[in-house]
Structure formats: C-alpha cells, structure tokens
Amino acid sequence: MNNRVRMGIVGAGSISLRGILPHLTQEDIKEQVEVTAICDPVPGRAQAAADKFGVTSAFEVYEDLLASGNVEAITIASPIGLHYQQGKQAIAEGIHVHFNKSMTTTVAEADELIRLAQERGVKIVASPGEMLRPLYQQIRHLILAGAVGTPIWAVAGAAFGKYHEQESVRQGNDILSNINPEWYFRSPGGGPLYDMTVYGLHVLTGILGPVKKVTAFSGIRLREREFHGQKMICDMDDNTLMLLDYGNSLYGFVYGVAAGELPKKHVGQPIIFGTKGMIEGNTLNGQPIDYPGKECDRPESDYNILPHVVGVHRLMAESHVFEDIMQLIDWIREERSTIVTPEHARHVIEIIEAAYRSARTGNTQTLITTF
C-alpha cells in the first residue's frame, strides 16, 4: 500500500532552500514522503523553488495551498511571527503540522494550537527536537547518575552576529539567492531568542527539567543593520541575558545577544557545572562522552547523529530540521509518537516570553507550564 505522506512547504526562504527541500527530495525517503506543493508570497519564488526541486505545485497564496487537497501535512518555514496564524489555519483544515522553531511567540498562542490540534485529531511536531540527539540523552543520563556530583549551575546561549546576512541564499541576484533577512530583526518573532537561543533552552530544559522562575535584562542594542547597502530597521530585542531558576537553588544563565558568545561547536551546546566536575559540549571533565552511534561517525559530527540522518543526509545542511519533519512523518504513517512535543516547545516559549516581561517590569516571573 502506498502510504507516502504528501507534504507542503510553507515558505521558500533560507531554511527551505538550504535544508528542507534538499533533504525531502532525496531518493532514500521517496517511499515515505513526497513534497507536493510549495508556497511563498514573493511572486515567482515558489515556482522557482518548485522547478529546482521537482515539485509539482507552487502557490503564492497560503490559503490556496491549504485548499488544494494535495497536502496532508505541512512544514511551516515562514517568519516566526506568522507561525501561529498559519498553524491555526492548517489545523482547522485537518492538516498535520511541523513547526520550525519557534512554534509561536506567546504561551496563549501555543495553548490554542495544542487545544485545537487535540480537538481536530491533528498531529503537531514543534522544532527544535534537540533531545533526539543521543549525546544529549546520554548527558541527561550522566547528570541523573551523579557523574558531575550535585549540579550547581549551567550556561547556554547564542549570538546573531552577521550569520543571517551572510547566508548563501542572500548573496546572489536571482529570486532564490537574494532573500532579504530583515524579518529576523523585526517584531513580532524576530530577535536571537526565538531564532537561536531556543536551541540551548530546549537542551537545558531537556536535561535539567522545566524552569520555575525567570529574571532577565533585555533591550535593543543595534537599532540598524545593513544588507546589500540598504539600512534595515531593528525593532525587536537583540540583547537579552536571562537567569533561570530550576528550583532548589539550581540556576542557569542563558543569553541571546547581538554579537559575541562563549566558544562552542554547536548552537545549543551547554556547559553544566557540578560538585564533581563539568560537562562541556561532548566531554565530561575533559574526556569524550560515549553514547550509542558515536562509533559510526567522525568526532566533529557528534551533533549530527540522529535517527533519520543517515547517508547523504549527514552531509547536508539543517539535518536536525529534516529529523524533526521525519518525526511527524513517522507519526502519521505508523502512529509512532515523538518526544518533539508542542508542550516542550510551549515551555521554552514561556521562558522567552517571561524574560521579556521580566525585563520590562523589573520583576522575577513565575512560570506555569511544564512538559
């Protein structure tokens, strides 16, 4: 029986062109998923992407994709500020959804999507699924087993730098290589927390558990950026420092900043300190951490070992996004649920939302969600 999932791609921007489309159009998964449609509001961009990757249908209007009857699941790869409304529309049509990070910008939005999906029997998966990585699963096991003694504090974070301005899909002159990055610096949905710090928050909460309280400073440090000689106005916070309280005097320090970060190999990589030492990246007290699958790959690729990331997929960009999408595909085809849950994503969204609220009010914020 042919039970390939017919997948629509919402947004033909950077993540789709560099990661999602190259992965999902590989021969090794053609019996599991077929990309049947692409949507992007920029005139001609969806069609150009469809032509490049051999996709049959292209749309400029999102509602036309939903009404086409040609998709049973979508991956939402549009600017983060659009995720809630687009997800809500898809769920209303009974279409399963993978949300690229972050799922929404507020807890209220996440609550509504989770409720609507349950009512409609729709499956939703929300990136980033960092705890799918065997390395992080092993770190959680080591922490619980007392490998660092009593955990004392942890740190994680990410910096914007010039990453988005310098992506390969923004350096050319045609419609697939001149994509403007301005939305990353605008409200709602812009800023390093929803886009990059979200990885470290998923890792730390996945390893140490839910956060109970948040205190933060936050503001806009760079009010203008430049792209191809044009000024971009920045009206979303780009400089945020957070103190997380896990309870029982266990704390975390997490940053999402305009520039400058602690040395690390991977965007979500944490440092966890305890009374008997520390875990830094893929090492425990300076020694490599062993975990299932490590012997099959190069040491520098520790963070690329994921269940579906095999063969050519290990050499391609954004393999973790591909993995999260495949979690949804498996769930649809085999009724195999996943740990990449919207509840975990909602908790991380609450941390971010609480950080902004703490910075505005000067008060510590108590969280209400868990996972």
Say yes or no: 282 and 150 in one domain: yes
Q: What is the pLDDT of residues 265-307, one digit of tens each?
A: 888 899 999 999 999 999 999 999 998 877 665 555 667 789 9
Question: Residue 61's domain spans which residues?
Answer: 5-126
* 2 or 179, which is more confident: 179
Say yes or no: 120 and 149 in one domain: no
Say yes or no: 25 and 38 in one domain: yes
Say yes or no: 149 and 235 in one domain: yes
365: number of CA atoms within 13 Å, CB side?
24
Asked which of 96, 126, 156 is the last residue of a domain, the reply is 126
Determine the pLDDT at residue 292: 82
Nearest to 128 by CA among 242, 206, 11: 206
> Do 196 and 161 form a contact (C-beta atoms < 8 A)?
no
For residue 1, is pLDDT > 80? no
Asked which of 126, 158, 175 is the last residue of a domain, the reply is 126
**Residue 321 in domain:** no
Q: What is the pLDDT of residues 298-342, one digit of tens each?
A: 555 667 789 999 999 998 999 999 999 999 999 999 999 999 999
Number of domains in the chain: 2
Write the single-letter amino acid at 11.
G
Say yes or no: 20 and 161 in one domain: no
Q: What is the pLDDT of residues 222-235, one digit of tens each?
A: 999 999 999 999 99
Mean pLDDT along residues 15-24 = 98
Mean pLDDT along residues 343-357 = 98
Q: What is the C-alpha separation between 178 and 130, in angstroms, rounded?
A: 30
Determine the pLDDT at residue 301: 64
Query: How high does pLDDT run on average in the chain?
Result: 96
**Residue 318 in domain:** no
**Residue 67 in domain:** yes
3-state helix, strand, coil in the chain (%, to 5): 40, 25, 40
Say yes or no: 297 and 227 in one domain: yes
Helix (H) or strand (E) holding 233: strand 230-233
Mean pLDDT along residues 184-202 = 98
Determine the pLDDT at residue 266: 86
CATH number where 197 lies: 3.30.360.10
Mean pLDDT along residues 41-65 = 98
Say yes or no: 220 and 356 in one domain: yes
Mean pLDDT along residues 343-362 = 98
Say yes or no: 263 and 142 in one domain: yes
Say yes or no: 154 and 226 in one domain: yes
Say yes or no: 120 and 152 in one domain: no
Phi, psi (deg, nearest 5) at residue 312: -60, -25
Buried b (16+ CB within 10 A) or exposed e, 182-191: bbbbbebbbb
CATH number where 79 lies: 3.40.50.720
Q: Alpha-carbon dihedral of residues 51, 53, 55, 58, nearest 10 degrees?
A: -50
**Residue 317 in domain:** no
**Residue 258 in domain:** yes
**Residue 331 in domain:** no
Mean pLDDT along residues 350-354 = 98
Neighbours of 10 (CB within 10 A): 28
Q: What is the C-alpha separation between 50 and 30, in angstroms, rounded?
A: 16
**Residue 97 in domain:** yes
Asked which of 111, 126, 141 is the last residue of a domain, the reply is 126
Say yes or no: 255 and 222 in one domain: yes
From residue 89, how far is each of 61, 84, 103, 112 by CA, in Å?
A: 13, 9, 14, 12
Say yes or no: 102 and 134 in one domain: no
Determine the pLDDT at residue 2: 60
**Residue 210 in domain:** yes
